[in-house]
Amino acid sequence: MNDGGDALMHVVVAGHGPTGHRLVEALRERDSEGSLRITVVGEETRTAYDRVALTSYLTEDADLGYPAHDAGVEVLTGDPVAEIDRAARTVRTASGRALAYDALVLATGSSPFVPPVEGRDLPGVFAYRTIDDLDAIRDACTAAGAGAGGVVVGGGLLGLEAARALQGLGMDTHVVEVAPWLMPRQLDEGGGAMLRRHIEGLGMAVHAGTPMKGLAGRDGRVARVDLADGSAIEAAVVVFSAGIRPRDELARACGLPVGERGGVVVDETCRTEDEAIYAIGECALVGGQVYGLVAPCFSMAEVAADALLARAAGRASVARFEGADLSTKLKLMGVDVASFGDPFADARDGALGVTYTDPVAGVYKRLIVSDDARTLLGGVLVGDASAYPTLRARIGGTLPGTPEQALFGDVEAADGDLPDATVICSCNNVCAGTIRTAVRDESLTDVAAVKTCTRAGTTCGSCVPLVKKLLDAELTAAGIEVSKALCEHFDHSRAELFDIVRVRGITTFTRLIEEHGRGRGCDICKPVVASILASLGNGHILEGEQAALQDTNDHFLANIQKNGTYSVVPRIPGGEITPERLIVIGEVARDFGLYTKITGGQRIDLFGARVEQLPEIWRRLVDAGFESGHAYGKSLRTVKSCVGSTWCRYGVQDSVAMAIRLELRYRGLRSPHKLKSAVSGCARECAEAQGKDFGIIATEQGWNLYLAGNGGMRPRHADLFASDLSDEDLVRYIDRFLMFYIRTADRLQRTASWLESLDGGIDYLREVIVEDRLGICAELDAAMERHVAAYSDEWRDTLEDPEKLGRFVSFVNAPGTPDPSIVFESERDQIKPVLVTGPRLEVAAR
């Protein structure tokens, strides 16, 4: 490193958060001439770390640190800049150290906004901003004990992350938001309402549209949060996450202009009124706006880097900050949430809002399009954000199909043909053309290499699926085999991971990722591994580490519904049920006030159960001989049947007996996706077997077996696999079909698309299952026999385990207290949740 007397331009960066770190990295990457000397001055005692992933520090003890700068950068920690002398071009740190600069960059970030309410200085009250804050919050939660009250003030992105952290620390968690709905800056009212249902379904209480009045203490610590409506919440820990304020005090003190509501005023090159001082990130006011998201802050860092290097070279700066895409996608407590473009554009004349709401699945989708329904302006996705990368990339462009097709992801086939100018990674401003060029010119073959080369997908990660599609399209065009890696944490496909787990006898996600992966895992690989472990009979899904890997419904062995209640679905094999058991279901529904419905799969669904009621309900059902119907799992749902030869004058085989045999054989079998089956007693096909994953139709000589059918949004007729089978051959072939599918299918791949992906299709499948082309039939047979022998009802096991039962509460500190936000009204002599009904699809112009 050169000393102050050299000819290098000395850049001092005040602040070492994510934006400051990004600036330094950009400078080092581009300074090929070695024209800069860089000193970074940080306030915290640790170097820069990922603030976006703060919650994982509490819940997973994750290492959030960014990579260290190279030896050409001097980093001073725990000694922030305290004063700027613009005339002398020096800064003085808190310890008194003086540093001369040729260019100074303010990257001081922001501070959390704490409303000026009574009691905000009480012990037990915290902000949610730094690792030190999180350490203090964890200590306070531990001291308060499990079940104590925890309140988060603020229902925005960071506030909900804080709420997730408090709940993970065992607190009875409440969220207080002054706006009428959660995440009001990103979501519309419908999206906010759907998000609230999801969050309340996880056992948290939401107080929206309710300002906080003040805090009250007891024994020298915070004890209560008083709300403006007169209600109060008992709280041992209170966390403020109600917004941010720019850290612009250094600029104010040295006379630099700041905004009326804060922020260092800069031009489009991120330079202040002083030609030697720049400001970037959350402390900067550019174009009259302060940005609090990582993407625009990183864009400012890139612009400032260009300006500094241009200054060092004596040329004009080219880069300009021209606003930012504020689109965002994240997973909040297991719930996909995304907004893109202008989600409120329909408030203006001429724009149309296209909305889809499915309260049963907990999905809300809204697109804002131009009056001719051709141009995408913005949108909101809650519960299912799979289409986000495609939709965000098409903001301001023409939709290739109708808005309805876009809502359901039907435009994804054209992702590989996006224009080169389409921004794929808004965090790092990476376009489709940049990715394509990098793949071709640098011979990149996997997503990790694309990330390293282009930075796409290295920040929030929401664009990674689209990055992979672009990569795959380029590789396919070049005749190169496309990687089947499950995600960035595993280089293997789901099928390969299945074999690794099976052959090596791996029983935990931790061991699998340590030996065959990298990092901490993600929302893609964790549920996949959970399914693999369950498929291989690795014990109860709520046992030990497995419980943390499960999808939302599996956490409570029930399907969450629109108002935060759950459905109870006992298994009724083949649809056959005795009067005594039918009476038990009726009595349970009556005694617990549940809504009852006979489904298309010949079962009885009971809706409206509160989480704390689930064990009581299931105890009654289990005692009567019922078991879990697995309606919540990626597993066998039902084997539907007609009455067959026992009653029907057209029946040629006993379809009910076969349906019961198959359902009892395959119950609890975890798989890449849900499985449905049916058995028809004759060719009249009353059970609709040809629309099922495996369907059986009786013949005079035995059974015809149909495979890989699919109903739903994209129906597929099943293929005839074999004819006139005996009972034993029928069961044997289904055993092998299911086990081969479980071993080789991709994540969330239905049997229909799986069969279509097999080279050779149904003929190849016949060779594997009947002719044993791969020599694995004995293994498949043995695997199914192990499943059948090891099956145990999940709900019966749960009822016998006090530790597992401990999770079934609405309020941790008051286990028997019902959730007061769950309200019903009467319709057709049954309960109905007091919420928006649906699903619906509507177009509205404002």
Could you tell me the sign of the dihedral formed by the alpha carbons of 733, 734, 738, 739, in that order?
negative
Q: What is the average per-residue pLDDT within 566-571?
A: 87
pLDDT digits (tens, 9 = 90+) for 359-383: 777 888 888 888 888 888 888 888 8
Cα separation, 669 vs 656, whole angstroms:
21
Segment 402-406 shows an average pLDDT of 74
Asked if residue 380 lies in contact with residue 361, where contact means CB atoms within 8 angstroms, the answer is no
Q: How far is CA 757 from CA 412, 708, 754, 762, in A?
A: 18, 12, 5, 10
Could you tell me which residues are annotated as the binding site for [4Fe-4S] cluster? 642, 648, 682, 686
pLDDT of residue 60: 64
Burial of residue 692 (CB within 10 Å: 0-12, 13-18, 19+) is buried
Q: Which residues on adjacent β-strands are paired with residue 336?
A: 331
- Which pLDDT score is estimated for 214? 93
In the block, which residue shows the tokens 């000397």?
A: 37
Q: Which pLDDT band holds residue 59 (cuts at 50, 70, 90)?
A: low
Q: Is the dihedral of CA 753, 759, 763, 765 positive or negative?
A: negative
Phi, then psi, of 816 in degrees rounded to 5: -90, 0
Query: Chain-centre distance of CA 714, in angstroms?
Result: 24
Three-class DSSP category at 315? coil
- List the one residue out of 731, 742, 776, 740 whose CA is nearest residue 534: 742
The pLDDT confidence band at residue 385, using thresholds 50, 70 and 90, is confident
Higher per-residue pLDDT: 452 or 92: 92
Average pLDDT over every residue of 753-764: 84
Q: Provide the pLDDT confidence category of residue 3 given band limits of 50, 70 and 90.
A: very low
Q: pTM of the entire structure?
A: 0.55
Using 50, 70 and 90 to split pLDDT, how confident is the model at 408? low
pLDDT at position 56 over 80: no
Taking the C-alpha atoms of residue 351 and residue 376, their distance in angstroms, rounded to an integer, is 10
Q: What is the pLDDT of residue 371?
A: 82
pLDDT at 358: 80
pLDDT of 7 > 70? The answer is yes
Predicted local confidence at residue 842, as pLDDT: 45
584 Cβ contact partners less than 8 Å away, ≥ 6 residues apart: 620, 621, 624, 626
Domains and CATH numbers, the chain: 9-112+246-313 (3.50.50.60), 125-242 (3.50.50.60), 494-550 (no CATH), 551-633+807-837 (3.30.70), 634-796 (3.30.413.10)
| pLDDT of 400 | 64
Q: What is the pLDDT of residue 465?
A: 67
pLDDT of residue 53: 74
| Residue 667: C-alpha distances to residues 536, 604, 620, 790 (Å) | 14, 17, 20, 11
Residue 55 corresponds to which amino acid? T
Exposure string of 763-786, with b = 16+ CB inside 10 Å and e = fewer, is eebbebbeeeeeebbeebeebbee
User: Of 112, 156, 82, 128, whose CA–CA distance to 245 is shortest?
Assistant: 112
Specify the pLDDT at position 63: 73
> If residue 335 lies in a helix (H) or strand (E), which one and from where to where?
strand 335-341
- Residue numbers belonging to the annotated binding site for siroheme: 686
Does residue 554 carry a pLDDT above 90?
Answer: no
pLDDT given at position 619: 94
d(CA 355, CA 366): 4
Q: Which helix (H) or strand (E) holds 21?
A: helix 18-30
Q: Are 14 and 81 in contact (CB under 8 A)?
A: yes
Q: Report, as an integer, the average pLDDT of 574-578.
A: 88
CA count, 13 A, side-chain hemisphere, 521: 21
Of 75-79, 434-438, 744-748, which range is least confident? Answer: 744-748
pLDDT average, residue stretch 6-26: 91
- Residue partners of 486: CB distance under 8 A and separation at least 6: 492, 493, 494, 497, 524, 525, 528, 747
Q: Around Cβ 693, how many Cβ atoms within 10 Å?
A: 29
Binding-site residue numbers are: 642, 648, 682, 686
Whether 828 has a pLDDT exceeding 90, the answer reads no
- Per the listing, tokens 């720019």 go with 246
- Encoded tokens for 522: 């993600």
* Confidence band for 833, pLDDT divided at 50, 70 and 90: confident
In the block, which residue shows the tokens 């296209």? Answer: 354
Helices and strands in the chain: count of H runs, count of E runs? 27, 39
DSSP-assigned states of every residue in 480-498: PPPP--SBTTBSS-HHHHH
How far out from the chain centre does Cα 18 lie? 23
* Contact yes or no for 150/172 (Cβ under 8 A): yes
Model confidence band, residue 712 (pLDDT cutoffs 50, 70, 90) = low
How far apart CA 425 and CA 422 sit, in angstroms, is 9
pLDDT category of residue 412 using cuts at 50, 70 and 90: very low
CA–CA gap between residue 415 and residue 515 (Å, rounded)? 34
Q: What is the DSSP letter of 134?
A: H
- What's the pLDDT band for 713 if we cut at 50, 70, 90? low
pLDDT score of 846: 32
**Residue 62's pLDDT band (boundaries 50, 70, 90)?**
low
Q: Which two tokens stand for residue 163?
A: 């709420």
Residue 210: pLDDT over 60: yes
Going by pLDDT thresholds of 50, 70 and 90, the confidence category of residue 409 is low
What pLDDT band is residue 844 in, cutting at 50, 70 and 90? Answer: very low
Q: What are phi and psi of 676, to 5 degrees?
A: -130, 150
Which two three-digit tokens encode residue 711? Answer: 């109903």
Count of Cβ atoms closer than 10 Å to residue 664 Cβ: 15
Q: What are the two backbone dihedrals, phi and then psi, of residue 197, each rounded to the nearest 5 degrees?
A: -60, -40
> Given the structure tokens 């600036």, which residue do they identify?
23
Compute and round to an integer the Cα radius of gyration of the chain. 30
Helices (H), 239-293: 249-253
* % residues pLDDT > 90 (the chain): 40
In this prediction, residue 480 has a pLDDT band, given cuts at 50, 70 and 90, of confident
Least confident of 334-343, 379-388, 410-419, 717-726: 410-419
What is each CA distance from 387 to 187, 304, 522, in whole angstroms?
16, 33, 18
pLDDT digits (tens, 9 = 90+) for 147-184: 899 999 999 888 888 898 898 888 999 999 999 999 88
- Whether residue 334 contacts residue 552, with contact meaning beta carbons closer than 8 Å, is answered with yes
pLDDT at 602: 85
Q: Using 50, 70 and 90 to split pLDDT, how confident is the model at 548?
A: low
Mean pLDDT, rounded, of the chain: 85
Q: Over the stretch 600-626, which tens digit does the pLDDT of each residue have?
A: 788 899 988 888 889 999 999 999 999
Q: Is the pLDDT of residue 592 over 50?
A: yes
pLDDT for the residue 544 = 65
> Encoding tokens for residue 386?
């799979």
Provide, for the chain, the percentages of residues in helix, strand and coil under a 3-state DSSP scheme, each rounded to the nearest 5. 35, 25, 45
Phi, psi of 739 (to 5 degrees): -70, -35
Going along 342-472, which residue ranges are E strands? 352-358, 363-369, 376-382, 423-425, 430-431
Is residue 215 within a helix (H) or strand (E), and if so which, with residue range?
A: strand 212-218
The Cα–Cα gap between 776 and 121 comes to 68
- Name the β-bridge partners of 700: none
Q: Find the range with the poorest average confidence among 231-235, 260-264, 288-292, 817-821.
A: 817-821
212 or 747: which leads in pLDDT: 212
* pLDDT of the residue at 499: 87
User: Which among 637, 635, 636, 578 has a CA at the least distance from the CA of 605?
Assistant: 637
Classify 44 in phi/psi space as left (phi over 0), alpha (psi -120 to 50) or beta: beta
Residue-level pLDDT at 21: 94
Q: Which of 378-382, 385-389, 442-446 has the lowest mean pLDDT?
A: 385-389
Residue 68 burial class via C-beta count within 10 angstroms: exposed 0-12, middle 13-18, buried 19 and up? exposed
182: number of CA atoms within 13 Å, CB side?
29
Least confident of 208-222, 335-349, 433-447: 335-349
Tokens at 406, concatenated = 């876009």
Q: Which residue has the tokens 């966390």?
A: 239
Digit-coded pLDDT (tens) for 87-114: 999 999 999 999 999 999 999 999 988 8
